[in-house]
Chain A
Amino acid sequence: MSPETVTITVNGSRRTATAGGHLSLLRWLREQAGVTDPKYGCGEGVCGACAVLVDGLPVASCIVLAAQVDGCEVTTAAGLRRPDGSPGPLQRAFHRSHAVQCGFCTPGMLVCATALLAEGRPLDRQEIREALHGNICRCTGYGPIVTAIEAAQHELAAGAEGGAEPS
């Protein structure tokens, strides 16, 4: 095994730790960098629980090697707060809309919803649902999550500052 060491900027902090060559980005974040909000849900990139942003784009961290993103910027759900640490429009909308029950899908949902909103295309509820097809939730039935994203979209479009952008 090659003890590959990688340096990745995680939620704004440069972190250097061994990646063992074979370590997925998910395992590297959770076990080497101590960032446990991306979750293991399936190991195949299907469920969305492990979603993180790499240089602004959402990826399934369980099927990306840490070694492949050496030198990149990674943002997890925990890093989606505003610079002052307060929740942005998306997080507040999730809270108000009761879009969280067990919460295990929530970090991945927030990451993917953030990326979706950052694309800037206005989306209706059906389009939001279709864009979220890659994020499994077993608890909420999805309606409240769609409502939260819709609400955040309105707030962002109305000119609130970009609080949901990665810090």
Chain B
Amino acid sequence: MTSQEVRRSKADELSVVRQPLPRRDQAEKIAGTTRYAGDVVHPGMLRAGLVRSPVPSARIVRRDAGEAVKVPGVVAVLFGEDVPHNEVWVDVPGQTIEVAPLKANMEILATDRVRFQGEPVALVIAETEEALTEASERVEVDYAEEPGVFDPELALADGAPPVHPQGNLLARWDIDAGDVGAAFESADLVVEGTYATQPVDHAYLEPEAGVGWLDDEGVLNLRVSTQVVQHYRDVARILGIPEARVRVIAPYVGGGFGGKEDMTVEPYLALAVWRTGREVRMEWSRPESLQARAKRHPMRMRYRTAARSDGTIIGQDIEITADSGAYAYLSALVLLYAAVHACGPYRTPNVRLRARCAYTNNPPTSAFRGFGGMQVVLGYESQIDEVARRLGLPPGEVRKRNSLVKGDVLPVGQVIETEVLLPQTIDAVLERAGPPPSGSGPRRAAGRAIASNLQSYGRLVWLNDAAAAWVGFEPDGSVRVRCGVQDLGGGQASSLAQIAGELLAVPADQIVVHFGDSALNPVAGTTTATRQLLMSGNAVHDATAALRDQVLGAVAADRGEPVESLRFSPGAVTGPGLRLPVPEALALCRRRNVPTEALGTFFGPKGVPVTRNLRSGRVFPDFTFGTHLCDVEVDLDTGQVRVLRYIAAHDVGRAINPLSVEGQISGAVVQGLGMALLEEVVLDEGINLTAGFFQYLVPTASDVPDIEVIVLESGEGMGPFGARGIGEPPIGPPLAAVANAIRDAVGTRPTILPITPERVLACLPSTRS
């Protein structure tokens, strides 16, 4: 059997995987003993903090720490000149020099220009938080404000102030497929819509934090809340020291969602440790995090959809403009995701797509769960909903009619290689939902709608993604897994234990997973892009399968039995007439010089790098499909919207841990509902007005109903045992499910997020007396 075949095992053959096992990390978290990055407090630890620009666009005229260093307890104040290599470079893939630099740079501490409110200018290191605060206020920085630009379309217009010297167009992607002109000519119906999504914040409950120190070898250690331990390489470059002399440890992270994918505290902690030689701690305050951390890309989307009278979509003409904020970060890739996902899970033979993203003096935007593939759900699902309405066809039927099937080709050229259960997810939510809701009173209107989506899992194929894992037996038969995976609470680490346990018939309490340490564990790559189950899951699977084969092979050779007749059973290697306790099998291996550990590397699917005109074929390994259903009630006097009911169905391929899968879906849906109805980073000429949890409104338990989850298992994902990724896919449909449901309730469609009560009132025929 090939690895791929082994991976896609039949569901009924699995005994550990697919069990709703509570995770071990949960017990510690419930007991309160988990030590997050900020929970390490030692006497004598230094404190580090940043002085940030209060203005969004300015030259720095003068910087002076003279008064600040006089504050008792201050150890040092660093500016850009004190940083050995004061720059990080970010790839801007697929672009030409005409559009943007192939790399975009950013300073660790700004020297002569600031480009967004909150940009770091100085690093203060002190003995106490109080001294840190006082000294920070005494660092003198004089800014000469310069005109800024705060709207991406304005930034792309002639005469806009350049945020960076090379101009404000950071990235563009174009798709031209088929003959869009002919499609629109021959269409029975053309639907036009303009949609806008807002910048939102990850609002993870654990703000950015970490501790740094030099160990006995003089290696710089950083124990930080991060999704990417590989940033040790960037830190090393910034300090100008060998990469092997930096180590990043990721403890359990209190929420990431993409916001801890870029470096946050790492470079500053590293500088403070490197400069002082002492243990240093850094914690960002919530207002600091809300103000200065990278946000989700706001997007303006103009859709023209051509359809036949039977609801078949024959063409899409799409324009997307995204705001990159002051620095590139991952903007080019986010825009790429938006472009590839922009037509949704539907066969679309004729497409013209133009996607742009522009620099502005707004806070930078970067990775956030869904990564550009989720904003466009508002566009394509609003459009198809409108097509169905205007043609008088059931929304589910229109989606099924257009649904991709295995073997279809996306406009970008990618072939769908796995089974698509989209129609089944539509049927599942409609069947579960039963009769539609009705308003609870004369001034209430109820509505129902569905929204479907596709979202990639696994990283872009030309990034040569890989993950490695080491699996080994202890002599007593317990198992150790070493894998650099970062655990954000989605069961990333414990899923690996389940996978190893499945193959070796070892119970969960006898498997330990060492994760998140760049020095001690094989690198597993980022916990982002819904990739960990695919990548580290497969790496652990392959390493464990190799280990299993090694041990069974040694026993087979020793006993003269065919290896196919042997298997691991709980506690023993078994076969016809054979039951050898595992410790004895391991001793046998040692006698025969057979290793009782294995290192496995899983390489992600490969492809050629994209060019600016996206027709290169495979972009992602695969996609996850789903459909959500939402019932709402609208208060016609106040415009308030209550979500009465929410059902989410996804094909997850194989649910490695069903409780984890449901948890991911439920959590992602609520984040999506938050973006649909409540959350907004409000910027006024680059000044953040929502830098506190009183103003930035995160959904609470009182704002959402129970999320009913339906899990379908096609068994055809590319992850271990046929799993698909599920972390990101459920976050997009709520945007459109809510908008479509309001359209159903009141007759007009909200097109701008968040859908505030005021915006709903504006949708109503005039009911105000």
Contacts and interface: CB of A to CB of B under 8 A. Distances in A.
Contact of A141 (B33, B203, B707): B707
B41 interface: yes
Contacts of B207: 40-41
In the complex, the 9 A-B pairs of residues with the closest C-beta atoms, listed nearest first: A102-B489, A103-B29, A37-B32, A104-B254, A141-B666, A101-B489, A78-B32, A133-B702, A141-B670
23 contacts: A34-B41, A36-B39, A41-B206, A44-B694, A78-B31, A94-B26, A95-B26, A95-B27, A100-B25, A100-B26, A100-B489, A102-B253, A103-B30, A104-B206, A104-B255, A110-B30, A129-B702, A138-B671, A139-B255, A139-B663, A140-B663, A141-B663, A144-B663
Could you say which of A110, A136, A138, A141 has the most chain B C-beta atoms within 10 Å of its C-beta?
A141
B662 interface: yes
A98 B700 contact: no
Given A95-B22, A101-B663, A102-B489, A37 B701 contact: no
B30 A95 contact: yes
B281 to A, nearest CB: 10
B488 A129 contact: no
Contact of B283 (A40, A42, A107, A130): A40
A145 B286 CA distance: 24
B669 A141 contact: yes
Contacts of B491: 101
Given A102-B204, A138-B205, A44 B286 contact: yes
B26 A103 contact: yes
Contacts of B253: 102
Interface string B657-688: 00110110111111100000000000000000
A39 B694 contact: no
A102 B41 contact: no
B698 interface: yes
Nearest to A148: B30
Interface of A: 20, 30-31, 34, 36-37, 39-44, 46-47, 49, 76-78, 81, 87, 91, 94-96, 98, 100-107, 110, 125, 128-130, 132-146
A133 B700 contact: yes
A98 B25 CA distance: 11
Contacts of B67: none
Interface of A is mostly: loop
B693 A96 contact: no
Contacts of B701: 128-130, 132-133, 135, 137, 142, 145-146
Contacts of B252: 102-103
A134 B694 CA distance: 12
A91 B698 contact: no
Contacts of A125: 706
B280 to A, nearest CB: 15
B36 interface: yes
Interface string B473-497: 0000000000000001111000000
Contacts of B665: 141
Contacts of B662: 98, 144
B162 interface: no
Interface residues of B, number: 60
A8 B119 CA distance: 41
Nearest to B290: A42
A137 to B, nearest CB: 7
Given A96-B22, A100-B29, A130-B702, A143 B666 contact: yes
B32 to A, nearest CB: 3
A83 B659 CA distance: 30
B29 A98 contact: no
Nearest to A98: B659
A144 B38 CA distance: 26
Contacts of A96: 22
A141 B669 CA distance: 7
B616 interface: no
B557 to A, nearest CB: 44
Contact of B34 (A42, A103, A132, A135): A103
A34 B667 CA distance: 31
Contacts of A107: 32
Interface string B30-65: 111111101101000000000000000000000000
Interface in B9-38: 20, 22-23, 25-36, 38
A46 B694 contact: yes
Given A102-B204, A132-B702, A139-B489, A44 B666 contact: no
A22 to B, nearest CB: 8
A144 B704 CA distance: 13
Contacts of B186: none
A102 B255 contact: yes
A36 B35 contact: yes
B30 A138 contact: no
Contact of B205 (A34, A39, A110, A141): A39
B101 interface: no
Nearest to B490: A101
A31 B26 CA distance: 24
A96 B32 CA distance: 17
Given A78-B31, A98-B22, A110-B30, A103 B706 contact: no
Given A76-B32, A95-B30, A101-B489, A41 B205 contact: yes
B470 interface: no
Contact of A140 (B20, B22, B23, B666): B666
Given A129-B702, A146-B706, A136 B27 contact: no
A44 B253 CA distance: 22
Could you say which of A44, A77, A91, A143 has the most chain B C-beta atoms within 10 Å of its C-beta?
A143
A39 B34 CA distance: 11
Contact of A102 (B30, B130, B254, B707): B254
B132 to A, nearest CB: 13
B692 interface: yes
A40 B701 CA distance: 20
Interface in B707-749: 707
A143 B30 contact: no
Contact of A136 (B39, B694, B700): B700
A129 B706 CA distance: 10
A20 B384 CA distance: 62
Given A87-B31, A95-B22, 15 more contacts: A34-B41, A36-B39, A47-B286, A94-B26, A95-B30, A100-B25, A102-B206, A125-B706, A128-B701, A129-B702, A130-B701, A133-B703, A136-B698, A141-B669, A142-B704
A37 B25 contact: no
Contacts of B703: 133
Could you say which of B254, B283, B704 has the most chain A C-beta atoms within 10 Å of its C-beta?
B254
Given A98-B22, A132-B701, A106 B30 contact: yes
Nearest to A47: B693
Nearest to A132: B701
A154 to B, nearest CB: 17
